[in-house]
């Protein structure tokens, strides 16, 4: 959030802002592949420590003066940040598989949902703090505050996590980073398109649209997206109560149905925007005040975005939580971090695809085009997830 808002403030185009995150997402892909293998060999505590340390370094790199904050420098810092983030996520989610008995699938789903939901709730708090700290402390003050806080967490982690949790009995070969499991491959492909569908309009297009078209302030954008992510995390945490669970193949049908419902929302938002634009044109044509029409148009557009995003967040959270459970369920116990790493490699690939498209499509074709692509990607994900056993 800090990077998006601050570099938009410096005059960067949406596509340039998207490129700042290119290495963040690309190295997330690499990290999830290699990180799962490292977790199996070293233990999940060590990959967690490595991730926290790299994040402190990445933040420190952004403390240089503005003339040093070139696209190349920020891309490199974001690359380290992407590596750090996915080492931590892979370590935490893999550990759940090892802490819950194999025959307690409902309990596993519950804890995966709680972990995923709490992670995203805290991410939402981070989005809010990003916008707020940028307004209160400026970019460099905000980054310094985060670096210091995370360094404290890093030190606590070093002393608190001392076991060899997740270390495989037999050291996996590097060639084993690519999954040979049919279920994991189909789930990974579904995850790729699911997260590309979110980020194609959420990462760059939405914040820039709110600022440039609707004249929102930095803290308003940060607070709104933060509220969305916090609510999103809460829904993820209660997803097991919403979807139910059983041990037969109907879970794939449930995942597919929830996905198809999600695909309707971006398409419906596009339809609503088109109706509003049409009405505004007709009112202007019969002599309506341009200022009044513009104000009403912005108000209705804001309402569509807020309502649409809240509904989208609800159904996306359920889909994300259900997918997260399914990958933990089908992962092999002795190579759980490798399997989960491969799956979240697909997650990062989807984020990479969505981020690049978010900047390019928004800049060239506009916000509605981002939403149409989002709906199309979700439909693809719905059909892919139906192929798991």
Domain ranges of the chain: 2-160+182-385
How does the average pLDDT of the chain come out, rounded?
82
Least confident range of 96-100, 182-186, 274-278, 308-312: 96-100
Q: What is residue 163's predicted lDDT score, i.e. its pLDDT?
A: 65
| Neighbouring C-beta atoms of residue 161, cutoff 10 Å | 16
Least confident range of 107-121, 171-185, 277-291, 341-355: 171-185
What is the phi/psi pair of residue 21, to 5°? -100, 5
pLDDT digits (tens, 9 = 90+) for 340-357: 777 878 888 898 899 889
Q: What is residue 172's predicted lDDT score, i.e. its pLDDT?
A: 56
Q: Is 247 helix (H, G, I), strand (E, B) or coil?
A: coil
Whether the CB-CB separation of 364 and 249 falls below 8 Å is answered with: no
Question: Once rounded to an integer, what is the mean pLDDT over residues 363-377?
Answer: 94
| Alpha-carbon span 275 to 135, nearest angstrom | 36
Q: Is 365 helix (H, G, I), strand (E, B) or coil?
A: coil
Long-range contacts of the stretch 29-32 (C-beta < 8 A, 24+): 29/345, 29/348, 29/349, 29/352, 30/83, 30/345, 31/82, 31/83, 31/86, 31/87, 31/90, 31/348, 32/86, 32/90, 32/341, 32/342, 32/343, 32/344, 32/345, 32/347, 32/348
Whether the CB-CB separation of 124 and 227 falls below 8 Å is answered with: yes
295 Cβ partners below 8 Å, 6+ apart?
none
| Neighbouring C-beta atoms of residue 213, cutoff 10 Å | 14
Q: Which residue has the tokens 């025959």?
A: 103
Least confident range of 64-68, 195-199, 378-382: 64-68
Whether the CB-CB separation of 42 and 341 falls below 8 Å is answered with: no
139 Cβ partners below 8 Å, 6+ apart?
2, 6, 62
DSSP assignment string, 165-190:
TT--SSPPPGGGGS---HHHHHHHHH
| Alpha-carbon span 29 to 349, nearest angstrom | 6
Model confidence at 168, pLDDT cuts 50, 70, 90, reads low
Q: What is residue 246's predicted lDDT score, i.e. its pLDDT?
A: 55
Q: Which residue has the tokens 């954008």?
A: 221
Is domain 2-160+182-385 annotated with CATH 1.20.1250.20? yes
């Amino acid at each position: 959030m800090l990077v998006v808002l601050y570099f938009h403030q410096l005059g960067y185009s949406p596509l340039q802002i998207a490129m700042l995150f290119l290495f963040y997402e690309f190295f997330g892909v690499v990290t999830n592949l290699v990180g799962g293998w490292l977790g199996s060999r070293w233990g999940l505590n060590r990959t967690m420590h490595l991730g926290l340390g790299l994040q402190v370094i990445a933040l420190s790199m952004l403390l240089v003066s503005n003339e040093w904050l070139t696209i190349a420098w920020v891309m490199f810092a974001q690359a380290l940040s992407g590596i750090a983030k996915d080492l931590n996520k892979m370590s935490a989610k893999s550990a759940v598989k090892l802490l819950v008995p194999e025959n307690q699938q409902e309990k596993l789903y519950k804890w995966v949902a709680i972990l995923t939901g709490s992670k995203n709730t805290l991410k939402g708090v981070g989005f809010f703090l990003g916008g707020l700290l940028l307004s209160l402390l400026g970019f460099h003050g905000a980054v310094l505050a985060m670096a210091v806080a995370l360094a404290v967490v890093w030190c606590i982690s070093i002393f608190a996590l001392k076991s060899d949790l997740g270390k495989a009995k037999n050291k996996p070969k590097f060639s084993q980073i690519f999954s040979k499991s049919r279920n994991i491959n189909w789930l990974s492909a579904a995850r790729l398109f699911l997260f590309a569908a979110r980020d194609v309009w959420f990462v760059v297009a939405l914040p820039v649209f709110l600022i440039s078209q609707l004249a929102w302030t930095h803290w308003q954008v940060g607070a709104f997206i933060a509220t969305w992510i916090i609510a999103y995390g809460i829904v993820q945490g209660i997803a097991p109560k919403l979807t139910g669970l059983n041990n037969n193949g109907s879970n794939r049908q449930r995942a597919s149905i929830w996905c198809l419902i999600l695909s309707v929302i971006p398409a419906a938002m596009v339809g609503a925007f088109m109706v509003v634009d049409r009405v505004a044109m007709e009112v202007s044509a019969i002599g309506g005040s341009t200022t009044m029409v513009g104000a009403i148009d912005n108000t209705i557009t804001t309402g569509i975005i807020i309502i649409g995003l809240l509904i989208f967040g609800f159904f996306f959270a359920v889909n994300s939580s259900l997918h997260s459970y399914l990958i933990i369920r089908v992962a092999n116990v002795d190579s759980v971090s490798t399997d989960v790493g491969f799956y979240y490699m697909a997650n990062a690939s989807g984020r990479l695809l969505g981020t690049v498209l978010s900047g390019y499509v928004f800049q060239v074709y506009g916000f509605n085009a981002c939403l149409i692509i989002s709906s199309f990607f979700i439909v693809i994900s719905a059909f892919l997830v139906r192929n798991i056993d």
